[in-house]
Amino acid sequence: MSDIKVRAKLEGNETVVKCLMNHPMETGLRKDSKTNELVPAHFIQEVICKWKDQVVLTAAWSGGVSKNPYLSFKFIGGAVGDPVEVSWKDNKGESQTETSQIA
Amino acid sequence: MIDATRRILLKGSLAAGSVGVAVAAGLLTPRLVLAEWNAAAFESKDVSAALKGLLGSDAMETNDAVVVKAPDIAENGAVVPVTVETTLSDISYIAIIASGNATPLVASFALGAAAMPFVSTRIKMGKTADVVAVVKQGDKLFSNAKNVKVTIGGCGG
Query: Mind listing the domains of chain A with CATH numbers?
Result: 4-101 (2.60.40.10)
Record: fold of B34-150: Immunoglobulin-like (2.60.40)
Q: Amino acid identity, residue B137?
A: Q
Closest CA to A78 of A13, A33, A1, A5: A13
CB pairs under 8 A between A and B: 122
Q: How far apart are CA A79 and CA A102, in angstroms?
A: 7
B105 contacts in A (CB within 8 Å)? 62, 64
Distance from CA of A102 to the nearest CA of B (A): 15
**Contacts A67 to B, Cβ<8 Å:** 78-79
Distance of CA B37 to the CA centre of its chain: 9
Interchain contact, A65 vs B121, CB within 8 Å: yes
Q: What are phi and psi of A33, to 5 degrees?
A: -70, -25
Residues of chain B with Cβ-Cβ distance to A72 below 8 Å are 83, 118-121
Residue B60: its H or E element: strand B60-62
Instruction: Say how far residue A26 (Cα) sits from the centre of its chain.
Output: 15
Residue B97 bridge partners (DSSP) = B105, B132
B122, amino acid identity? R
- Decide: helix, strand or coil at residue B57: coil
What ipTM was estimated for this complex? 0.92
pLDDT values of chain B reduced to their tens digit, one per residue, 157 residues: 556 655 555 555 545 555 444 444 444 444 444 446 888 899 899 899 999 999 988 899 999 999 999 999 998 999 999 999 999 999 999 999 999 999 999 999 999 999 999 999 999 999 999 999 999 999 899 999 999 999 876 665 4
DSSP calls for B85-147: EES-SSEEEEEEEETTSSS-EEEEEEE-TTEEEEEEEEE--SSSEEEEEEEEETTEEEEEEEE
